[in-house]
Structure 1
Amino acid sequence: MSTTVEEVLVPSREGRGVYVKKGQLLDIVDVVGHQVGDIVAWFRNDPSEYMSPTHTVSCNQSVVLKTGSQVFSNHRNPVFTIVRDDVEKHDIIVPCCDRERYLNDYGLPDHAHCLGNLEQARDLLGEEYELHGETAWNVFMHNRVEPDGSVVTDPAAHGAGATITLKAHEDLVVLLSACPQDLTPCNNFNPTPMLLRVIDEG
């Protein structure tokens, strides 16, 4: 019988984190709907090994993640297996948003951003770890690549309670940002909370 070990609400435009043990499940839940989350993870016993979107693309030979897909580390070891995916639309091409994104593209130096949210989550856990936007996986983000190579962001179409469940292959530190982007359609221009749930399968 499955047992919930921990639930952490990730407030809108903020970040939170959890520890996930090898074999445990991690639910990432969109509480309200139409929300994107940015996730990073690294190995607790060796922080130099971390979840890597680019290595995941290389190992899978695909930019598509769905139920049954694995997510890999920078050493090409499995980090997660996706065991449930209500949405099956995610982005592993672009980095998470950062201060420079809003400054350079919108002239907004003080806008909340996912990299800052992830740093907030790290600090709340008391971890010391240098974060980089290109190591984030953009969960539930509806980016598509056009035939001419351009990347187009569509509004997230999933509803309240949409969940992706990940099975951990190692003991991990996991951080999630409830993306604060309100200037493109990715969150339907209305950022909302998310939920992290750690589960023992029993």
Structure 2
Amino acid sequence: MNERAAAYQATEGGALDVDTGFYDRVAVAPGTHELVESFEVPIRSGRAWHVPAGHLCRIVSVAGPQVGDLNVWNAHDPRERMWAARTRQLQRAHISTYDRIWSTLPFLRPLLTVTADSLAGYGEDEHGGRVHDLLGSRCDPYVNRMLTGEDFDFHCHSNLTRAVLPHGLTEFDVHDVLNVFQCTGLNDEDRYFMKASPARAGDYFEFFAEIDLLLALSTCPGGDLSVPLWGPEARDPLEVCRPLGVEVYRAEAGLLEGWASPPRAAYRNLHGVRRPEWTDVGR
């Protein structure tokens, strides 16, 4: 027995077995798909948008390194949203091409599948850092107040909160994030560290929407995280803050032949509870 083997194993044809050929075919390439929406998220702000099932979305580092905090919901039922912890277990702590983001219980299905990642070759650096982080969460004004005694209204939690308000959601719907372009790891004390993003202008992170999605992205007020945010060396990292671009593509219809949105989890939600006997009377 390999004591370091992944706990959750893929079996051929099973739920964790990804058809890589399909996702290679639908990945965005010049002239393959129709660009239906494109915008930039300014520094220290957030924006929410829809990506229909069968469409693709790219997050682009348009002006240089910049971290983006991403939230994902079912566009029709925000109770179904990305589950960072289970995604870490089913996929990995830092995701890349062919990895998926999974939804919360009782839904438990892929919300999106990563189709392209210009930083896929980054791997693990000399400090143990990797990119596109599910290890940590969004920065927020509550922790900031606790650590510094000061209020700051443009942390990622606040940016995401403002972004989703027009869509009928609130702060309570904002959840743990995928930190796009963020480089993180665990140090020798098993503590979370962040380091400067290796992204450069033109780098991108692309994914395929498995169901109709509502997404929200915050341009982190820490910018590229090359400046300490807390501690004795902390200073305002405004100079290293940059916008992020978002592109949404409609996949060419012929490429989607045979694909369908994944169903909800097959478990019947009984949890050991049995129906009262009187409910069967008259049947």
SS of equivalent to 1:181: coil
User: Amino acid of the residue matched to residue 138 of structure 2?
Assistant: C
Q: TM-score, normalised by structure 1?
A: 0.90
Q: Distance in 2 between matches of 1:132 and 1:57?
A: 20
Structure 1: state its 5+ residue gaps. none
CA shift for structure 1 position 165: 0.4
Q: Alpha carbons of 1:85 and 1:131: their partners in 2 closer, same or farther (altered >3 Å)? A: farther
CA shift for structure 1 position 108: 2.5
CA shift for structure 1 position 186: 6.8
CA shift for structure 1 position 102: 1.9
- Residue 98 of structure 1 contacts residue 133 of structure 1 at CA under 8 Å; is this kept in 2? no
Higher-RCO chain (CA-CA 8 Å, sequence separation at least 6): 1
Task: Give the aligned length.
Answer: 200
Q: Distance in 2 between matches of 1:181 and 1:72?
A: 27
Q: Alpha carbons of 1:56 and 1:105: their partners in 2 closer, same or farther (altered >3 Å)? A: same
Q: Distance in 2 between matches of 1:55 and 1:186?
A: 31
Q: Distance in 2 between matches of 1:135 and 1:25?
A: 22
The structure in which a higher percent of residues are strand is 1
Q: Distance in 2 between matches of 1:26 and 1:172?
A: 11
SS of equivalent to 1:140: strand
> Where do 4+ consecutive residues of structure 1 move more than 3 Å?
129-134, 186-189
Could you tell me which residue of structure 1 aligns to residue 213 of structure 2? 172
Q: Alpha carbons of 1:181 and 1:56: their partners in 2 closer, same or farther (altered >3 Å)? A: same
What is the percentage of aligned positions where both structures have the same residue? 27
User: Amino acid of the residue matched to residue 88 of structure 2?
Assistant: V
Q: How does 1:104-123 map to 2 (within 5 A)?
A: 104-123=146-165
Could you tell me which residue of structure 1 aligns to residue 48 of structure 2? 17
SS of equivalent to 1:141: strand
Q: Distance in 1 between matches of 2:81 and 2:72?
A: 6
Could you tell me which residue of structure 1 aligns to residue 145 of structure 2? 103
Q: Deviations over 1:177-198 (max 9, x none)?
A: 0111269527993111001111
SS of equivalent to 2:248: strand
Structure 2: state its 5+ residue gaps. 1-31, 121-130, 230-236, 253-283
Task: Look at both structures and tell me which one has the larger radius of gyration over its CA atoms.
Answer: 2
Could you tell me which residue of structure 2 aligns to residue 195 of structure 1? 245
Q: Is 2:95 the counterpart of 1:65?
A: yes
CA shift for structure 1 position 101: 2.5
User: Amino acid of the residue matched to residue 51 of structure 1?
Assistant: M
Q: Which moved more, 1:89-98 or 1:177-186?
A: 177-186
User: Amino acid of the residue matched to residue 194 of structure 1?
Assistant: L
- Residue 78 of structure 2 contacts residue 173 of structure 2 at CA under 8 Å; is this kept in 1? no
- Residue 99 of structure 1 contacts residue 109 of structure 1 at CA under 8 Å; is this kept in 2? yes
Q: Distance in 1 between matches of 2:75 and 2:156?
A: 22
Q: How does 1:1-202 map to 2 (within 5 A)?
A: 1-60=32-91, 62-75=92-105, 76-88=108-120, 89-123=131-165, 125-131=166-172, 134-181=175-222, 184-185=225-226, 189=237, 190-202=240-252
SS of equivalent to 2:214: strand
Q: Which moved more, 1:132-141 or 1:189-198?
A: 132-141
- Residue 28 of structure 1 contacts residue 194 of structure 1 at CA under 8 Å; is this kept in 2? yes
Aligned alpha-carbon RMSD (Å): 2.1
CA shift for structure 1 position 134: 4.3
SS of equivalent to 2:133: coil
Q: Alpha carbons of 1:68 and 1:182: their partners in 2 closer, same or farther (altered >3 Å)? A: closer
Q: Deviations over 1:116-168 (max 9, x none)?
A: 11112112x43324445642111111111124312221101211111000101
